Amino acid sequence: MSNLIIPENPGIFINNKPLFIRKVRVVKKRMEMTIPFETSFGRFSSLSRLFPVIDFETEQGDVFTGTGECPPLDAPWYNYECHRTVEVALGYISSSLTGKPVDLNDGIVAPGNSPVTDIYSFINKYRWIVGHEIAKAGVEGAYWDAIAQMNSVPVSTLFGGTKKKVLAGTSVGLESTIDLFMKKIEHAVEGMKVARIKMKIKPGKDINYIEAVRKKYPEILLQVDANAAYDLFKPTDIALLKELDNYNLTMIEQPGRNDDIMDHSRQLAGLTTPICLDESILNVVHTRQAIELWEQSSDTKKLIINIKPPRVGGFLESLKIAQLCSNNGVSVWCGGMYESALGKTANVHFSSRIEVNLPGDHVSQAPYFKEDIAESPVYENGEITVPEGIGWGLRGSKL
């Protein structure tokens, strides 16, 4: 019997102490990538990262400064957002938090602005803004960081996380030849000893690449990510996706349109390999709808959800999705969006929840960026240690 009731409070800490927002600012950094990354939608070598920084003051006059991260791509390849749209959205969110018109907003809070308490009252300040989930996620991250500092605990404690270590996989981008691609696979498996491999695929770079991996590593946990590169109503594409059943894959991620939930469940019901939805799941309501559709057309055991907090608007929504999936036997994992060390660390805190039961995209073949804003969480032999420091627990922060 399915349990499709959306959890209002997914087991998170509820702050009841009034907090006055005093200042909102955004730090923007252009960050050069160590290794360019290629997917079905493009290749990029540098990214802009935006870090909302918010000062909160208690009734006693103590000030706690929280920081979050917005990790958009540079063009609307993955979804409609990019660093330019995120900047615009952050202006409107900041205006909502400070109580000043967006064109006059300087980040300093207007006199008489009402305080916030729990995460719900904070989000309600800017709930009126439609979409712009990456911007919202970064701002929400700043709230959780400040609340954790106020309570002298790691953010994972506020999230209700219990795991001390989380399984870590890596994402391997496409290369021009199989030999170049396999060098990256070999380094990930033998050098990094990751818990699983996620490899990008697209038409023309799929079966041969998968065969090469499986021939050398028949037992490694392996999943493929198509980034919406296949047509679910094209017989040759369906036949190719069906052929992937022969390679013992953990999942096929987002093979069809990036805004589709329905056709994935219907058109791919004949596959034995689970289908993972990524781009098409923007909130917990989409998650409920997907679970209902898989119940009707296929089997919920063949549905997996990739939760990226920036894609779904933040951590509260992510935790709701994780709990709803767990209540209905749907596995979930935490994907990455080429975050800096802050964003990676935040994802690890989220992944400390027991419901996040598959390895996430938490480590990379080389540091994402030539110069990062802090040290990444400690990784060893396929596992990352959940930071125990106060707040995000960043080491060596340069923000």
CA distance 132 to 83: 11
What is the arrangement of strands in the sheet containing 63-67, beginning at the earlier edge strand?
Answer: 19-39, 42-58, 63-67
Annotated catalytic residue, options 23, 184, 200, 302: 200
CA distance 83 to 298: 38
Residue 349 tokens, joined: 């805190």
- Choose among 238, 22, 58: nearest CA to 149: 58
Contact 317, 284 (CB under 8 A): yes
Annotated catalytic residue, options 100, 125, 308, 320: 308
String of DSSP letters for 155-206? HHHHHT---SEEEEEEEE---SSHHHHHHHHHIIIIII--S-EEEE-BTTBS
Name the phi and psi angles at 230, rounded to 5: -115, 150
- Choose among 373, 331, 394: nearest CA to 167: 331
Name the phi and psi angles at 108, rounded to 5: -95, 130
What distances in angstroms separate CA 345 from CA 68, 383, 397, one per listed residue?
Answer: 11, 13, 12
Q: Is 216 a catalytic residue?
A: no
Q: Is 193 a catalytic residue?
A: no
User: Catalytic positions, please?
Assistant: 200, 308
